[in-house]
Amino acid sequence: MDVVIVGGGPAGLSAALSLGRARRRVTVIDSGEPRNRTAAHMHGVLGHDGLSPLVLLERGRAEANGYGVRFLQGEVASARVEDGVIEVDTAHGTLRTRRLLVASGLEDVLPDIPGFREQWGRGVVVCPYCDGWEHRNNVIGVVATSARSVEQAQLLRQWSDRVVYFENVVGEASAADLDRLARRGIRVESGAVTSLRVEGERVTGVEVDGRVVDVEVVFTGPTLRPRDALLRSLGATTTESELGSWVDIDDDGRTSVPGVWAVGNVVNVRANVSVSLGLGSLVAGALNADLVADDIDALVDA
Ligand SMILES: Cc1cc2nc3c(=O)[nH]c(=O)nc-3n(C[C@H](O)[C@H](O)[C@H](O)COP(=O)(O)OP(=O)(O)OC[C@H]3O[C@@H](n4cnc5c(N)ncnc54)[C@H](O)[C@@H]3O)c2cc1C
């Protein structure tokens, strides 16, 4: 095998398509839980605006498969790198490969408020660029999860002049922030958020300190947890940022572990679908060039 790709979301599939077209032997192993799986529609992806994210992946698998890319279902928990050979353990046996590309995405850890998980991707969302347009001029609630949630509320003011900021204890705004929110007409509700009011399938209110405030959608900021256990188990170096600890990559997607690469949300918090597709293609080009260089070295050494 030339490349084993762990993760078949937009980043992994985009890389798989380019590598398949470059006549590389590629296997993608995927556990079937892409980050945006609960959203019915995907937005801001040129040529695919409004498409189901699952349909995008289905098409991507079919396209990559047309160039010989092989797909396996399952979760990869362990791999080893020894003398330039990488072994990846799967439910279908151990795969030997020259390169490993990890594209396993990230997990959104939601605040523990009843109703949030059930509504995730529909009445409770995260990304203004993905869902802001659909809620333009609506009453938008922002349930704070950290002091940074003030920025989310300020941003959402671009889509509606009826934004309500729920401090929710953790996101208590400073006097300066309160002033800036007030100047933009953003109402502040203090107190702990205890649940959502949902009517039918729609979010219609946020319960705070026993009273219900009317809203039509909730934006919030989950804790972002990269699914990077495999990379860490291989010894990949990491760097601390204000959003936690992230595995290091260079501009081409190489981690600090020889032969092991990474792309998409697992290493890049800003990789939306379009960015993930673009980076998947970029990393595939760099990976293929790396393999070509290896092939030449092998001939020179022989
Ligand atoms: C609710 C919601 C809505 C969103 N809407 C939009 C939108 O409208 N437009 C937009 O551009 N972006 C949107 N996003 C962001 C988008 O989901 C991400 O940008 C995108 O999914 C990142 O792609 P990825 O390939 O890096 O990761 P993912 O899409 O998460 O794919 C990773 C894949 O790897 C698999 N995997 C993980 N670990 C393993 C393992 N150990 N072994 C095997 N497989 C594994 C997972 O099951 C998954 O299939 C949204 C996000 C959320 C949460």
User: Hey, whose CA ends up nearest to atom 3 of ligand 1?
Assistant: 36
Same domain, 142 and 213: yes
Integer CA distances (angstroms), 266 to 186, 269, 270, in order: 34, 7, 10
CATH of the domain at 24: 3.50.50.60
Q: Is residue 244 located within the same domain as residue 291?
A: yes
pLDDT(71) > 80: yes
Q: How far is the CA of 207 from the centre of ligand 1 (A)?
A: 30
93/181 same-domain check: no
- Residue bearing the CA closest to ligand 1, atom 15: 272
Average of per-residue pLDDT values in the chain: 96
Do 118 and 100 belong to one domain?
no
* Rounded mean pLDDT, 94-122: 96
Placement of tokens 């996101």 in the chain? 171
CA distance 292 to 124: 46
At which of 220, 251, 286 does a domain end?
220
What is the pLDDT at residue 171? 67
**SS3 assignment, position 35:** coil
Measuring CA to CA, which residue among 100, 147, 167, 165 is closest to residue 242? 147
pLDDT at 278: 98
Could you tell me the distance, in angstroms and rounded to a whole number, from the CA of residue 25 to the centre of ligand 1?
A: 24
Give the domain range for residue 139: 111-220
- Listed range (229-233, 236-240, 297-301) with the worst mean pLDDT: 297-301
Q: Could you please report the per-residue DSSP string of 164-220?
A: EEE-TTTTPPPHHHHHHHHHTT-EEE-S-EEEEEEETTEEEEEEETTEEEE-SEEEE
More confident residue, 229 or 241: 229
Residue 108 Cα, ligand 1 centroid: separation in angstroms?
10
Q: Which of 220, 249, 275 is the last residue of a domain?
A: 220
Q: What percent of the chain has pLDDT over 70?
A: 99
Task: Report the alpha-carbon distance of residue 99 to residue 24 in Å, rounded.
Answer: 11
Residue 135 token pair: 């809620």
Q: Are residues 102 and 242 in the same domain?
A: yes
Question: Can you list the alpha helix ranges (DSSP code H) found in the chain?
Answer: 10-21, 53-65, 116-119, 128-131, 149-156, 175-183, 229-233, 273-301
Adjacent-strand bridge partners of 220: 143
Burial class (CB in 10 A: 0-12, 13-18, 19+), 281: middle
Residue 20's CB: how many other CB atoms inside 10 A? 22
Residue to mutate, 14, 27, 28, 35, ligand 1, most ligand atoms under 8 Å from C-beta: 35
Of 269, 257, 302, residue with least CA distance to 126: 269
Q: How far is the CA of 10 from the centre of ligand 1 (A)?
A: 7
240 shares its domain with 254: yes
**Closest residue by Cα to residue 99 from 253, 274, 250:** 253
Same domain, 213 and 233: no
State how far the Cα of 288 lies from the Cα of 23, in Å rounded to an integer: 10
Smallest CA-to-CA distance from 80 within 64, 95, 63, 58 is with: 95
**Crossing angle of helices 175-183 and 149-156, rounded to 10°:** 10
CA–CA separation, 214 and 125 (whole Å): 17
Same domain, 131 and 94: no
* Cα(188) to centroid(ligand 1), Å: 32
pLDDT tens per residue across span 75-88: 999 999 998 899 99
Q: Ligand 1: which of 95, 272, 283 to mutate, most ligand atoms within 8 Å of CB?
A: 272
Instruction: Kindly state the tokens that stand for 7.
Output: 């993760």
Asked if 197 and 152 sit in the same domain, the reply is yes
Structure tokens at 250: 């260079």
- On whether both 194 and 153 belong to a single domain, the answer is yes
The pLDDT value given to residue 272: 98
**84 and 139 housed in the same domain:** no
Residue located nearest, by CA, to atom 21 of ligand 1: 35
Position 201: which residue type?
Answer: E
Measured by CA distance, the residue closest to atom 20 of ligand 1 is 273
Residues 6+ apart with CB under 8 A from 164: 139, 140, 141, 142, 186, 187, 188, 189, 206, 213, 215
CA of 7 to the centre of ligand 1 (A): 9
Question: Is the pLDDT assigned to residue 52 strictly greater than 80?
Answer: yes
- Average pLDDT score over residue span 200-204: 95
pLDDT digits (tens, 9 = 90+) for 124-150: 999 999 999 999 999 999 999 998 899
Q: How many CB atoms lie within 10 A of CB 92?
A: 11
Q: Would the pLDDT of 286 be above 80?
A: yes
**Residue 290: per-residue pLDDT:** 98
Looking at 220, 245, 279, the residue that finishes a domain is 220
What pLDDT score does 302 carry?
A: 66
**Tally of structural domains, the chain:** 2
Instruction: Say whether both 192 and 43 belong to one domain.
Output: no
Q: What sign results for the dihedral spanned by CA atoms 293, 25, 9, 259?
A: negative
The ligand 1 site (C-beta within 6 Å) comprises: 6-12, 29-36, 38-39, 42-45, 75-76, 103-105, 108, 121, 125-127, 130, 227, 230, 264-265, 271-274, 276
Q: Which of 221-230, 243-252, 258-267, 291-300 has the lowest mean pLDDT?
A: 291-300
Q: What pLDDT was estimated at residue 173?
A: 81
